[in-house]
Amino acid sequence: MNRISRLLLRREAGILVMIALFCLAVGAVKPHFLTLDSLQIVLLLVPLTLMGAMGQMMVIVARHVDLSIGSILGLTAMASGMMFRYHPEVWWPLGFVLSIGIGALLGLANGAVVTFFRLPAIIVTLGTLNLYRGLTFIMSNAKQIDRQYVPVELKAMSQTSPIFGIPWIILMSFAVALATYYFVMHTRIGRQIYALGSNPVAAPLRGIDVTKVTLLVFTLSGALSGLAGIMYASRWGFVNPSNTGAGFEFQVIAAVVIGGVSINGGVGAVLGTALGVLLLGCVAAALPLLGIPGTTQNAIYGAVILAALLIDRLVRRQGQRGAAIRGAA
């Protein structure tokens, strides 16, 4: 229809092609990979990443980055886990309120430091990555929350399905993606995120409250990491102070960047990000199936991400910059 949607379409089509090629290649070696079973495995790997990626996408579109999401996931999962353990009398869904609420606060703290002290987000969130992880150790006394403490109903959300055999956790992550889509594409404040990231100098000149938008994206990123935190407890049934959420930021940022969100801000879409998450999910599901030892998986995972970025760059090779100035009068 018009040029941008065509461009975006191509970008997203490109990731789809990469996913298809990857799956076919793996399927050629292990035909089992192309069955519904492994689709289920892939889909169960992605929901947490998808939730985190929606928040991260907004942060990166606004020309920031949030490295602390893995630690927020860990801290919020631990907070609910401790509530479940020490106050089993409390109605379990309050774990959602607790995790999301704490996540939002931690995110808000990130945003506040970034915007009020004018510090680069990469440094601030690198700091809070360690700070929040450390707080998790302190509050849990470095003790894991074991399976028996996590409510059965919560764990069931990752196994039982209200409809079409799709577990709650997957539906929930899709709902997050759809809500994010509506928010960034169809609300005033959502569009201001793009405007801010596209030209931070012009944004205040056009009446955009830069402080508000910055606080908002970090808060949302934190809240979604909090949601991913409680769902981690649901999915895996335990919370470990050092492992839970470790490396989450890496997966999420990789997915977001593969999904076409520009690190320079202003550009990025929900569909592309979701496909980026899916591609990483396929890779994560395929590696054990191919019998690649755990020691090698990390390296391959990293290599695949670099390859995806390189392919994308080579395919697009857009040199549209500096087009405009022609002869003058």
Please choose, out of 38-46, 114-122, 130-138, 201-209, the segment that lies near other proteins by the rule CB under 8 A. Answer: 201-209
> What are the distances in angstroms from CA 121 to CA 64, 112, 301?
6, 10, 26
Q: Does 259 bind other proteins (CB under 8 A)?
A: no
Report yes or no: 180 and 54 within 8 Å, Cβ to Cβ. yes
The single residue among 70, 167, 197, 241 that binds other proteins, judged by CB under 8 A, is: 197
CB 132 within 8 A of CB 106: yes
Cβ contact 309:258 at 8 Å: yes
Nearer to other proteins, 167 or 260 (CB): 260
Nearer to other proteins, 116 or 182 (CB): 182
What amino acid occupies position 96?
A: F
Nearer to other proteins, 167 or 190 (CB): 190
Residue with tokens 């991400």: 305
Q: How far is the CB of 16 from other proteins (least distance, A)?
A: 23
Candidate ranges 35-43, 101-109, 138-146, 181-189; the one touching other proteins (CB under 8 A): 181-189
Residues 133-172 binding other proteins (CB under 8 A) are none
Among 50, 57, 65, 267, binds other proteins (CB under 8 A): 267
Residue 8: CB minimum distance to other proteins, A = 11
Binding flag, residue 317, other proteins (CB under 8 A): no
324 is a site residue for other proteins (CB under 8 A): yes
Encoding tokens for residue 228?
A: 């991913």
Task: Residue 221: name the closest of 254, 249, 181, 195 by CA.
Answer: 249
Distance CA 119, CA 214 (A): 12
Distances in whole angstroms, Cα of residue 263 to Cα of each of 68, 117, 259 = 17, 22, 11
Sole residue written with tokens 């910059």? 321
Considering only the stretches 36-44, 80-88, 139-147, 191-199, report the one whose residues sit in contact with other proteins under the rule CB under 8 A. Answer: 191-199
Residue 1 or 163: which CB sits closer to other proteins?
A: 1
Minimum CB distance to other proteins, residue 201 (Å): 7
d(CA 315, CA 230): 39
Angle at the Cα of 251 from the Cα atoms of 247 and 252, rounded to 5 degrees: 110
Under the binding rule (CB under 8 A), the answer on residue 263 touching other proteins is no
Provide the binding-site residues for other proteins, judged by CB under 8 A.
Answer: 1-5, 185-191, 194-195, 197-199, 201-203, 205-208, 262, 265-267, 320, 323-329
